Chains A and B, each alone.
Chain A
Amino acid sequence: MAYRYHEKEGDDEKMKKWLWCMILLVLLLYGCAQTNILERIGLTTLIGYDVGKEKKMQTTAVIREVNPEFQSKVDVITTEDNTSKGNRMEVNRRVSKKVMIGQMRVILFGEALAEEGLHYYIDASLENASVNNGVYTAIVKDQVAPLLEYDYQNIEDIGQHIYRLLEQNIQQEYMISSMLHEVGRDYYAVGRDMAMPIIEKEEELIKLSGIALFKDGKMVSTLPPPDSFYVKVIRDTFKSGIYETTLQSEDLPSILQKKTDDTMTVAFDAIRSKRTMTLVDAKNPEFDLTIKLKARVLEVSPSFDQSHRKSVEALEKAIQHKLTKELARVIAHSQKVESDVFGFGEEYRSHVRHAELTKEKWHSLYKNMKVNIHVDFVILRNGVFE
C-alpha cells in the first residue's frame, strides 16, 4: 500500500511508459558503443615525426602491447605516408592489435621537419580529441627514427623513458615547459613564439641538449641547455630550479677576491622569481624588464666568509651584474633570429591600442626592440646544502 501525496495517477502511468522506453533503449543500443578493451589495443606512448623520404611524412611510433605469451613488449615501428592517419593505418598493418593514441605522452619532431615548419602537426594534434593536451613536445637533433629504433642496453621502454626524462626536467624546472597546450598557445598567439627542448642520443643515453627557438612555427635557432634558466626567468615565474654560474674575475668585487685573477663558481636555487615587463616606448618598442629573484646559495667555490653582510651584498651585486649580462645576451640572440619566445609582443599588444599586430609586423618590430634589464637578486639564506 503506497501512499503518494504529490502525484496524480497519470504521472505514474507516464513514468512507467518512460521506464519501459529506457529499458528498451538500453537493450537496443547495447553494442552501439565502440569498445576499446585495454588489453586488446596497442597503446602508442610516443610518436615521432620526420620528413619522409618518398612520401610527405615519416612517423615512428612506440607501441606497447600486452599478450598472454610475453606479458608486455614495446614495438618501435617506422612508417611513411602522407597523413598521420594514413601512417596509423600503415602501423595497423604491422601489429596484431588496434593501435590507439589516447595514452600518448610525448610527440617528437625531427630537426629537419621542425625547420620546415610544425604548423600542420600542432594543428592536427590539437584537433584530435583523443590526444591529450598535456603531452610533451620536443625536438630531436637530426632524425627521430634512429633515436627511437636504437636498442638501448638499459632502457626497456623508450617511450616511457623519454616521457619521464622530459617530465622530470620540466617539473624540476631545469628545462622550459613544452606541453602541447602551451606550444599551441605560443603558436597561435600573436607576439609570442614557441620554444621546445631538444633531445639527442648520447651513446647509451638520451639527453636534453638545448632549446629550440621558433619563428612562425619554424625552428630558427638553438640555445644551450644552461640558457633555459634565462628563458624561463623571462618567460614566467620560476620556483625551484637550480642554477650555476661562474663569475669572471673582472665581475668580481675586490672584497671577494683573494687573488686578482680568481673566478668564482656559484650555484644557487631560485626560491621565487618574478618578472615584470613594462612598455616604456610604443613607437620604437622599448621595455623595462625587471626580474626579482630570491635565492639561496648552495655552493660557492672558492668559499669565502659568508657571515659578513658586506661580502654577501657584494656577491649579490656580482650575480646581479652577471645575470643582467647573460639575460641581455639571450635576448639579443633571440632578437637576431626574430624569435620572441618571451612574449614581449603580447605585452606590446595589450598596451598599445589599435596595434593590429600581425606576426610579421611584430617580428620586424622585435628585431629592433630595446630592453632595459634590471635584476634584483636577493640571497635569502646561505650555507644551506641540499
Chain B
Amino acid sequence: MIFKRLLDKQQSSPPMEAPPTNVEPIANTAQLFIQAIQAATHYPDDLIVKSLSPTLTLLYINHLVDNQTLNDHIIAPLQVNTTTTPEAVIDTLSVADIQHGSILAEAIDALVHGAALIHVAGYSKVIFASIITRETRALSTPENESQVIGTQVGFNESLATNISLIRRYIISPDLCHKKITIGRRTHTAVSLIYIHGIASEQMVNTVQQRLTDLRIDALIDSAVLAEMIDDNSLSVFPQMLLTERPDRFCDGLLDGKVGIVVDGSSMAVICPQSFSEFFQSQEDQNLRWPIATFVRLLRLAAFFLSVYLTPFYVAALTFHYEVIPQAFIVPLSESRALVPFPPIFEALLLEIIIELLREAGARLPTKIGQTIGIVGGIVIGTAAVQAGITSNILLIIIALSALASFTSPSYMMGNVVRLIRFPIILLAGYWGFYGIMLAFCFLLIHLLRQSSLGAPYLSPFYPPRFKDMRDSIIRMPIPLTAKRPTFTRPTDEYKFNPDEPIKPKKS
C-alpha cells in the first residue's frame, strides 16, 4: 500500500542533530578571536575585520549592516576616544541596541543577525552593536486582495515594517508581540501577535505551543507555516487566513483572533478562521450595509454556482433530461447534437482547458499573460464550438463557474472551489443527481468535522450562533453587531455596549 505510506503522518524521521552545546568563551586576544569567528563562519569574503586601534577590533558582515551608522556612530567616535575597556566603549557608542557577551556562539549569532562586533584586547568579552539593514521594497498596494474602498497598503517582506503597520492601526499597550525563531537552518523570525484582554488565553497558548514545537529546518513563507500548524493539514480547505492587508489583519486581532507574521513573507496568518469568513472581504466593512450584504450573498451564490453548475449540467444531460426546462431543451440538444463525447467528458475537457489557461496566465509574465487570455478565450472558445467538441451552452456554464470561483476574496479558497469541482463532476457523470448529493454530503460532513484552532469551522451556522450570523453571510448595520464572534472565545465579548447607542441622539 504505497498510498497508505504516503498518507501516513508517522514518517520515519532522520536523527536530529544535537543542538550545539557550544559554550566556548571568547578569547581575550584579537588574533584568536578573529580566527575563531572566521572558522565558525567558514571564512566568508564579506566578513570585514578592521583594527581601529591597537586594542579595538571591529568585525561585521558587509551589506548586512548600515554603513552610514557604522561610519558615523561606531568608527568615528571610537577613533576619537581611544578607550580600552568594554564599559567605556559602550558609553562611547551612540547606537541604541548594544549588548555584550562572553560566549563565542552568542557573538556569532549576533554577527549573522547584523551586529558589528567590537573586541577589546585583554577582555574575554565582546560588544554587539546591532545596526542591521535589510533590503526591502517600499510599501505598495496589496496585489492579491485589492479593494476599491479602503486602505491601499499591504504588508511587505520586512517583519519590522509589518509590525509597524500593525502598531499603527492598533495603538494600545495591550497589543502583545512574541518573537519566536523557527527553522534549524534559516532561523526565521516569527512574530505572534494578539490583543491581551480580547484574545483567548487558551488559543494564544495553543498557537504558541504549535509554533515552538515545530522542528523544521527552514521556513520561507507564512503559507507553509499555516499549513503546518493548522488543525488538519490533510484537508483541502484552508483553516487559517492568509492576508496581505494590515487592516484585515488588525480587524481579526480585534475580533479576538491570533495573528502570525513571518519575516520575509508578505502574507500574515490569522487564526482561528471560520468557513464563512473566507468569503468576506475587508471592503464589506467599508461599504454601506445593504450593499455589503448583497455582495456577500453574491459571493455565496457564486460559490455554489461555481461548485455545482457544471456538475448540474452533466447530471441533467446524462441522466435527468426531465428537469431541463421546456424552452431550453431544443437549443440545448441542438448544440449537443454535434458533440461526439458524453457530457462528462465534454465538461472535464473544458474545465481542464480553463484551468490550463488560468495556470498559464498566472505563470507567464504580465505582458504575455494578456495575450494568453485572448488566445485562450477567443481561439480555444470559439474554435472548440465550431470544431464540434463542445456545446456553446457548456462553454458559457464553464466560463461562468470559472468567473464565479474568482469572486472569493481569499485566493486560497478560490483554489479549493476550483479543485473540488472535479470530483463532483465525476460523480455527477457517474450517478447524476445522486452523485451530486453524495458529493454534497461528503463535503458537508468534511466541513463539519473541520476545526480551526479547535473552533468549529462552520460557525456560526453549526453550532448555530444567531447573534454571530449578523456578520456572516450578511452584514447587519454596525450598531447591531456589538458582539465579537463566539468561536474565537474572546475574553471581552462585546465591542461596545449594545444597549447604549454608539451615536448619541441629536438633541
Contacts and interface: CB of A to CB of B under 8 A. Distances in A.
Contacts of A160: 326
A16 B337 CA distance: 42
A39 B319 contact: no
Interface string A1-45: 111111000000000100000000010011001111111010100
Nearest to B235: A2
Contact of A43 (B4, B7, B320, B329): B329
A243 interface: no
Contacts of B342: 35, 37
B214 A64 contact: no
B321 A2 contact: no
Contact of A38 (B214, B333, B454): B333
Interface in A271-319: none
B57 interface: no
A163 interface: yes
Nearest to B323: A102
Interface in B198-236: 210, 213-214, 228-234
Interface string B442-469: 0000000001001000000000000000
Interface residues of B, number: 41
B340 to A, nearest CB: 9
Contact of B431 (A33, A38, A68): A33
A71 B337 CA distance: 7
A257 interface: no
A240 interface: no
A39 B343 CA distance: 10
Contacts of B431: 29, 33
B83 to A, nearest CB: 51
A38 B321 contact: yes
Contact of B321 (A6, A26, A100): A100
A5 B320 CA distance: 43
A41 B321 contact: yes
A103 interface: yes
A30 B434 CA distance: 12
User: Which secondary structure dominates chain B's binding surface?
Assistant: helix
B322 A130 contact: yes
Contacts of A105: 326
Nearest to B318: A35
B229 A1 contact: yes
Interface in A188-236: none
B326 A36 contact: no
B336 interface: yes
B232 A26 contact: no
A150 B375 CA distance: 51
A2 B9 contact: yes
B228 A16 contact: no
A138 B230 CA distance: 64
A38 to B, nearest CB: 5
Nearest to A105: B326
B17 interface: no
A168 interface: no
A335 B332 CA distance: 50
Contact of A26 (B324, B333, B339, B430): B430
B432 interface: yes
Interface residues of A, number: 33
Interface in A103-140: 103, 105, 130, 132
B321 A43 contact: yes
A5 B454 contact: yes
A163 B326 CA distance: 10
A254 interface: no
Contacts of B432: 33
A3 B336 CA distance: 49
A38 B332 contact: yes
B9 to A, nearest CB: 6
A103 B322 contact: yes
B326 A1 contact: no
Contacts of B321: 36, 38, 41, 43, 100, 102-103
Nearest to B228: A1
A30 B432 CA distance: 11
A308 B337 CA distance: 66
Contact of A66 (B230, B337, B451): B337
A171 interface: no
B334 A66 contact: yes
Contacts of B343: 37-38
Contact of A71 (B213, B334, B426): B334
Contacts of A163: 326
Contacts of B427: 26
Contacts of B334: 66, 71-72
Nearest to A160: B326
A265 interface: no
A369 B476 CA distance: 61
Contacts of A66: 330, 333-334, 336-337
A358 interface: no
Contacts of A35: 318-319, 342
A30 B228 CA distance: 36
B163 to A, nearest CB: 26
B300 interface: no
Among all A-B residue pairs, the 7 with the closest Cβ atoms? A102-B322, A66-B333, A2-B233, A39-B336, A66-B337, A38-B317, A30-B430
Given A1-B9, A5-B231, A102-B322, 5 more contacts: A1-B229, A4-B232, A38-B317, A38-B336, A132-B322
Interface of B: 4, 7, 9, 210, 213-214, 228-234, 316-322, 324, 326, 329-330, 332-334, 336-339, 342-343, 426-427, 430-432, 434, 451, 454
19 contacts: A2-B230, A2-B232, A5-B451, A16-B4, A29-B431, A33-B431, A33-B432, A33-B434, A36-B321, A37-B343, A43-B329, A43-B333, A66-B330, A67-B337, A68-B338, A71-B337, A72-B334, A72-B337, A100-B321
